[in-house]
Structure 1
Amino acid sequence: MLDRAETLSVRTKRFLPYLLAVAIFMQMLDTTILNTALPSIAYDLNASPLTMHSVVISYTLILAIFTPISGYLADRFGTKTLFSAAIFFFTLGSLLCALAPNLTALIGGRMVQGLGGAFLTPVARLALIKSYPRDEIMPVLNFAVMPALIGPLIGPMLGGYIVEVASWHWIFLINLPIGALAFIAGLSFMPNLKERCSKLDQKGFLLFSSGLFLSVYGFDRLGHGGHLVGALIGLVLGGTLFALYWRYAAFYEKALFPTKLWLIRTYRVGLTGNLVARLGMSAIPFLVPLYLQVARGYSPSEAGFMLIPIAAAGLSAKPFIPHLLRRIGYRPMLVVNTMILTIIISAIAYFGESLSKPGFMALLFLAGFSNSCQFSTMNTLTIARLRPDHVSAGSTLMVVNQQLALSLGVALSALLLNLYPHFVPEATKMAQFKFTFGTVAFFTFASSFVFMRLHKHDGEGLIKKRSKDRR
């Protein structure tokens, strides 16, 4: 048994970081490569580019639903078993997407992809954390997450290039050889770590996940137009199930997401602000490629190239964030930066048409820099005051909240794009996008009032701790 543990340790240290890196790369590339290709996919499937939001939402929704149980399933069935299943479903979903003859089939394939994606990175990260000594985890994780930084840089441009040189099907087909190699590597090198797990809150999971699915489904239907009854039914049923979950969780000590989390003021404000702010911020990666191709007539590769500054700025902002927080604090950072983002999104709406390519890319660079500052600040403050016994549930709910916000942000964008012509029948595509960008900017601005509820000294402990750690 000792020899096996020693052998396992050597194999793990050599290959586990690469498995996590591949898992993250597959997901990040798949996420960023798609948006640039949506107009081309729409034309090929005889659909409107402005109704392609369901292709994005179907994936993020399934992620949000199944991510909360990834840890439980890994403990029960083993990390190798679940990782291999995740790779299989993600790769199978990619194949189904590539073979999709219509929009409905494509959405189905994306949901299968999402089922695999919900377990892919969390399980690989969990196996790595369990396999390494604490003092070695951080550098290994930093290495493994590098693809998360590279994917957004190359994804949009690669997506546009593939669409022009080959066809949109190859956006999904490139996952097949990567998935096959990752599946074999997982079977060969991933340890099948299990833990004695507590009982899953099945009732809570069923109520929460059903409420989430129906609510987002209802919101998504609104964006298609002509589905008002189905949308309202989904929203009402989803809201009812959320209310039932809240009542249930208030009296069940081991609920999936304890209601006691909401008694923590910074967590409550952070989670709410996260949701409202991301309604506008998460719409940008979806809206901008559509805007450039549909309203301004750029080719997919041109649109992909112009998106590079968003990811590049996100990378360049990371070293400055600790310094900014030490200088101005969390509350001013979130409130002021939210208003800066509002101005940038509004500038895209009302001045984007007249800007040259370099000018527009400079504006996107500012958006990416500000976005990165906002995301990092919101995330660290949200979980800062969680008790040790609430860290797992609180962190997981924050991830679910982020996926929900992304789904709702994309759905809101589609709703606004398709709603405007009903009020202004002669509206041009440019007018539709101006209205949509301007409205999502309002939601970003509204989140500043949420962050104003923070206290002046909130987050000071985090800033001081970082300062001491650097000495």
Structure 2
Amino acid sequence: MNRIVPLILAVALFMEQMDSTVISTALPAIAAALGVGPITLKLALTSYMVALAIFIPASGWMADRFGAKVIFRVAILVFMAGSVLCALSGSLVAFVAARFLQGMGGAMMTPVGRLVLLRTTERRELVSAMALLTIPGLIGPLSGPPIGGFITTYFSWHWIFLINVPIGLAGIWLATIHLPEVPPVETPPIDWRGFALSALAASGVVFGLSVMSLPALPPAAGIGATALGLAAGLLYVRHARRHPTPLLDLGLFRNATFRIAVTAGTIFRIAAGATPFLMPLMLQLGFGLTPFQSGLITFVGAIGAITTKFLARRVFAAVGFRTVLIAAAITGAATTAANAFFTPGTPYALIMGLLLAAGFCRSFFFTGINALSYAEIGDAEASQATSMSSVLQQVSLALGVAVAAAILEGSTALKGHALGLADFHLAFAVVAGLSLLAVLPFLRMPRDAGANVSGHGGRPEPDSIAVK
């Protein structure tokens, strides 16, 4: 495998994933500079996620029409432009708009990066390649808060965004030199009605859930937006069944392996979305730590994620996707449940050890689920599959934060007291139970599913063809 390809894609995706959370610890400083409150400024977090939700569905069509390598470099350029405008913003409106532009770039970066990998990687190398590409999605959200806190404390919040410029330029240069050409393919005209409905559905759900969990607006606005998004989603399903070439082809779910993989992944990502929200808050409000201290503790999970890269291919080849994914889901749920027993008296070494194990389990799960999703997807469906998977990922991550926040708010309302450690314990227990449900789809999956990718059972593998 040409390792430079997934590494280039991984660096670009890390930049995008980290930037989605890096401003969380810098919100007070940015808010003071713009003359608004920190809660109000959280609209910038929401605008970024909404942009992702709107433009991800169209990313696959654009990659097919204009070439995946071209769109990937354009995505980095758009992301860089949004970063510069964030640093130059002098008002709330300008900052929110700049974050939206960043989200447009990020929306193209993630699914198109996966598409490049799918079309340039041999089946037998897909697990190793996906292990590299999974790392940014796990490390980015964990590294964002401590990096943002460090830059804001010792430099200026502007550098949170300006640092993306040299990284982005390097990414464009390396992509130009090392990424193989992925030529355009013949595509029908874009499904504009499908784009409008899918954009309204995904952005309505993501915006609504985000507003309910980060109440910069009245909760009624979040409930209304979520309801509107769900209604648009139903209309899209009706539209997609009638349109000959829908923007997001629901026919992909007829593929049992793809359906099981995205269903289990969506369920498990609720915990993945909730944990980065709950853990720093618990360490700060329940343990009395500073944002930077809590960020240093939670970052240990990134080490567990990195170690997976060195083991994934051999483990999946030895026992297969089904067994590994069931084990990873169970142990991932167990390590999430362990957070419900942390107290200020718990040794930090024990906390960090469990977070390390949690990062390891989640990385194994997402490496496997990402490779399994595309194991039986043909080349003609690859762009649709990457777009569909990315949309569901964004919705499930937003749902994780919303579920966690709803549990905290409901617990405090029922008990009639301020947010306390017991409320976080309850939230972790519930989220762990939800993530355990990810095991259920795998129980009906054949033991040899995806063996042409994992190599489990000695299944013959093609030596020279890219993923089809």
Bin of the TM-score, shorter chain as denominator length: 0.7 to 0.9
What is the rounded CA distance, in whole Å, between the counterparts of 2:239 and 2:138 in structure 1?
42
Q: Which runs of 5+ in 2 are unaligned?
A: 464-468
Query: What is the aligned-residue identity percentage?
Result: 31
What is the rounded CA distance, in whole Å, between the counterparts of 1:124 and 1:384 in structure 2?
17
Cα offset, 1:94, TM superposition = 2.1
Query: What does the per-residue CA deviation read over 1:72-111, in whole Å, with 9 as the maximum and x for residues that have no partner?
Result: 3355557787566534432332244345567776544322
Please say which of residues 37-46 and 56-65 is displaced more in the overlay: 37-46
Cα offset, 1:395, TM superposition = 2.9
Match of 2:213 among 211, 223, 230: 223
Question: Is the contact made by 2:53 and 2:206 (CA closer than 8 Å) also made in structure 1?
Answer: no
Q: 1:23-172 to 2 correspondence within 5 Å?
A: 23-31=12-20, 33-37=22-26, 46-47=37-38, 55-74=44-63, 76=65, 82=71, 85-98=74-87, 106-120=95-109, 148=136, 152=140, 155-172=144-161
Q: 1:55-454 to 2 correspondence within 5 Å?
A: 55-74=44-63, 76=65, 82=71, 85-98=74-87, 106-120=95-109, 148=136, 152=140, 155-179=144-168, 196-224=186-214, 227-454=218-445
Please tell me the root mean square deviation across aligned C-alpha atoms, in Å. Answer: 4.2
Structure 2 counterpart of 1:9: none
Please say which of residues 230-239 and 145-154 is displaced more in the overlay: 145-154
Cα offset, 1:444, TM superposition = 0.7
Distance 1:357 1:465, change over 3 A: closer
What is the rounded CA distance, in whole Å, between the counterparts of 1:186 and 1:458 in structure 2?
33
What is the rounded CA distance, in whole Å, between the counterparts of 2:173 and 2:311 in structure 1?
40
Distance 1:431 1:460, change over 3 A: same
What is the rounded CA distance, in whole Å, between the counterparts of 1:39 and 1:399 in structure 2?
30
Give the number of equivalent residue pairs: 454
Q: Which runs of 5+ in 1 are unaligned?
A: 1-12
Please say which of residues 398-407 and 24-33 is displaced more in the overlay: 24-33
Please tell me the residue identity of whatever aligns with 1:247: R
Question: Higher Cα Rg: structure 1 or 2?
Answer: 1
Question: Is the contact made by 1:211 and 1:239 (CA closer than 8 Å) also made in structure 2?
Answer: yes
Which structure has the highest helix share of the two?
A: 1
Distance 1:347 1:366, change over 3 A: same
Distance 1:173 1:238, change over 3 A: same
What is the rounded CA distance, in whole Å, between the counterparts of 1:43 and 1:343 in structure 2?
41
What is the rounded CA distance, in whole Å, between the counterparts of 2:315 and 2:237 in structure 1?
37
Query: What does the per-residue CA deviation read over 1:306-356, in whole Å, with 9 as the maximum and x for residues that have no partner?
Result: 233211111112333344434544334333322222221121122254322
Distance 1:112 1:355, change over 3 A: same
Cα offset, 1:440, TM superposition = 1.7
What is the rounded CA distance, in whole Å, between the counterparts of 2:343 and 2:309 in structure 1?
27
Question: Is the contact made by 1:161 and 1:300 (CA closer than 8 Å) also made in structure 2?
Answer: no
